Amino acid sequence: MRARSLPRVSLGHFPTPLEELPRLARHLGIARLLVKRDDQTGLAGGGNKTRKLEFLVADALARGADTLVTAGAAQSNHCRQTAAAAARLGLRCVLVLGGDPPTAPPTGNLLLDTLLGAELRWSGPYRRGEQLHHVVEALRAAGRCPYLIPYGGSNALGAAGYAEAMQELARQCDGFVSLANIACMVVASSSGATQAGLVVGAHLVAYPGQIIGIAIDKEETPGISYTEHLATLANQTAELLDTAKTFTPQDFIVMREYVGDGYGVVGEREREAIRLTARLEGLLLDPVYTGRAMGGLIDLIHRRVIGRRETVLFWHTGGVPALFAYAQALV
């Protein structure tokens, strides 16, 4: 099925590689484990936000914006990549970060935000963009033309990036593996547009398998379940792409049992998944998202929720720069 193509700015290296993880697959006792290397999208350290930003920034430019504004945790990959996109296009970037200004020299993503020239604002207990509208109003009052990118880049434009990613994967599978033979895909799921976009893309390419989101956050948005949020995002994305399909919360599989002590708190499951993947495959995962998602995948295999004869695909969504800020929790 063809979707409407949207204005897009080139920021990354696509298609990202599709690779085998044979030693990890053997260790876990499954037939085949593939990894889609979206950590290699190329924009200032790469990661899933590059795909979202290609559509979001195109919209910002069309509206004459001079400043990208977004929010996240101090170690947000989304903020780092937004800062890089802004730098690349000669825009300014304001990041509203959870927490207080650090007293020690910045590290990990925060160091990169600084190198990329972002203006940092600190929002104490708020890391999910609760104060973004005030910042945008203040910038407008100061004569600037800000473009608000929601927390995680998760709106329909951002999700369109992952609908396209699934189509890219379908094209790439030709000859390497049959898309229909991939029993399930596993992806870290937090602000939602990655999983929602993949599910829309799965509809477009008629992918018959499961897309399993591993929830990263303990808390949900008040008044709405996470799967309702995903369905809303997917429906907005389908509409944007002129695709006549309605999604319901039942179209989304989200495993909530791996959130541990909450967002950004590294536990034994993440530590072990990061170590195992590094030592068996020379592949680095991150402490907040992909370490948790791989920990979930390993447990699902151990519990036989994912069968031993299956071919499984792991979406590596990036985040490696955060490793350096989590040294104490990792070793």
Q: Residue 186: count other Cβ atoms within 10 Å of its Cβ.
A: 26
Q: Do 12 and 50 form a contact (C-beta atoms < 8 A)?
A: yes
192 lies in the binding site for ligand PLP (CB under 6 A): yes
Q: Which stretch binds ligand PLP (CB under 6 A): 18-26, 99-107, 224-232, 316-324?
A: 316-324
Q: How far is it, in rounded angstroms, from Cα 316 to Cα 161?
A: 15
Residues 205-264 interacting with ligand PLP (rule: CB under 6 A) = none
Question: Is position 194 an interface residue for ligand PLP (rule: CB under 6 A)?
Answer: yes
**Phi, psi for residue 16 in degrees, rounded to 5:** -75, 155
Q: Using the rule CB under 6 A, give the single segment among 23-31, 110-118, 126-134, 188-196 that binds ligand PLP.
A: 188-196
Whether 10 is catalytic is no
Q: Does 40 bind ligand PLP (CB under 6 A)?
A: no
Q: How far is CA 133 from the centre of its chain?
A: 23
Rule CB under 6 A: which of 127-166 touch ligand PLP? 152, 154
Q: Measure CA of the first residue to CA of the last residue in the chain; give whole Å.
A: 48
Q: Which helix (H) or strand (E) holds 120?
A: strand 119-122
DSSP character for 305?
A: S
Q: Which of 12, 45, 47, 108 binds ligand PLP (CB under 6 A)?
A: 47
User: Which listed residue (146, 291, 319, 321) binds ligand PLP by CB under 6 A?
Assistant: 319
Of 76, 123, 154, 190, which one is the catalytic site residue? 76
**CA gap 294, 203 in Å, rounded:** 25
Tokens in use for 265?
């708190």
Residues in the interface with ligand PLP (CB under 6 A) total: 20
Q: Which residues bind ligand PLP (CB under 6 A)?
A: 47-48, 77-78, 152, 154, 188-195, 286, 289-290, 317-319
Active-site positions read 76
